[in-house]
Structure 1
Amino acid sequence: MAPEQMAEPPEAGPAVPPARPLDAIDQDILQMLQADGRASIRSVAERVHVSRANAYARINRLIEDGVIRGFGARVNHERAGQGTSAYITLKIVQNSWRTVREQLRMLPGASHIALVGGDFDVLLLVHTPDNKALRELVLTRLQAIPEVLSTRTLLVFEEEDLEPEG
């Protein structure tokens, strides 16, 4: 899809103020929370050498500004019963990104969705229990989406999340 074909009006939603510039302390807080999202305010404050009130205010500002989108667990998909992972590339009908994105969000095991430029339009990361479930997802669910013109599945043999050092 050419860049001019991808242009769509901005989505309606809650207005998020522009993010304020991040200083070295904010960057240190982000790095610490990426390594351990369960870190206490006290431990964050001690590590970045600010008061607990200051650390609390900075974390809240990072959340309000949309810099921190949330907190969650990093899952070992294989140990969680989702041992088959694949990147799936999709070519889609021109100007159908929003429609396709909403359908992809509902797929079981969908982990990451990206609109990209190049030889295909969408890159989708999925985790499924096994190859049979992956096959079902691709052949039955994905290829049934009318706006999906073609797919290509890239099976992941081994993966590693790159995590900041804590």
Structure 2
Amino acid sequence: MVKLDVVDFAILKLLQENGKKPYTEIAKQIEVSEGTIRTRINRMLQDGVFEFIIHIDPNAIGLNVQAIIGITTKLGQQEAVARHLNQYPEVRFVAAFSGRHDLILQAYFSSNEDLVHFVNKELAKLDGIVSADVSIELKQYKDTFSYMAQTES
């Protein structure tokens, strides 16, 4: 496990607020050199602490239907089903969970018809799926990739 210190966490907090923030500005706010910021960010990137990504609003690109689908698999088929689900471009997230479903996935579709096709044609043909419980997002209250508490500066 990578050891992070106060400076690393301060850098991460500022990058989460604005991933395009210049290193010079981060350095001023944390009161360290720009070289320190550059070195720390490169180390954290190399160590896999974080990655720079673009968070696209699905609605802005025509993906107006978000579904959370709970999958129950046949015993011994969970891994194979998960690997197969990973191949679908509509599927953003797949994970094994304890509880009612063996796998839970998040997927985005242009329309309800596309979702129905995915469930009735694509999921239905996968050997190893016993059942699928589909929930459609009605209203979103929060969507973040921040795992650090937001504190006042």
TM > 0.5: yes
The runs of 5 or more residues in structure 1 that have no matched partner are 1-18
Q: Who is 1:55 aligned against?
A: 37
What's the TM-score once normalised by structure 1's chain length?
A: 0.80
Count of residues paired in the alignment: 147
Indicate if the aligned counterparts of 1:143 and 1:151 stay in contact, CA closer than 8 A. Answer: no
Deviation at 1:32, TM superposition (A): 1.9
Aligned match of 2:55 = 74
What SS does the corresponding residue of 1:25 show, helix, strand or coil?
helix
Aligned partners of 1:55, 1:162: CA distance in 2, in Å?
A: 24
- Are residues 1:89 and 2:70 paired? yes
Aligned mates of 1:79, 1:161 — CA distance in 2: 15
Query: What displacement does 1:163 show?
Result: 5.7
- 1:162 aligns with 144
2:94 corresponds in structure 1 to 113
Deviates more, 1:51-60 or 1:100-109: 100-109
Residues 34 and 100 of structure 1, relative CA distance in 2, 3 Å threshold: farther
Q: Does 1:100 align with 2:81?
A: yes
**Structure 1 residues 21 and 86 mapped into 2: Cα distance closer, same or farther (>3 Å)?**
same
For residues 27 and 79 of structure 2, what CA distance do their matches in structure 1 show? 41
Note the C-alpha offset of 1:57.
Answer: 1.1
Who is 2:28 aligned against?
Answer: 46
Shift of 1:162: 3.1
> Which of the pair has the greater relative contact order for Cα pairs under 8 Å at 6+ separation?
1
2:27 partner amino acid: A
Which TM-score applies when normalising by structure 2? 0.86
Tell me the alpha carbon deviations over residues 9-56 of structure 1, each in whole angstroms, 9 at most, x when there is no partner.
xxxxxxxxxx32211221121122223222222222222222111111
Report the CA distance shift for 1:141/1:24 in structure 2 as closer, same or farther (over 3 A). Answer: same
Q: Which moved more, 1:103-112 or 1:128-137?
A: 103-112
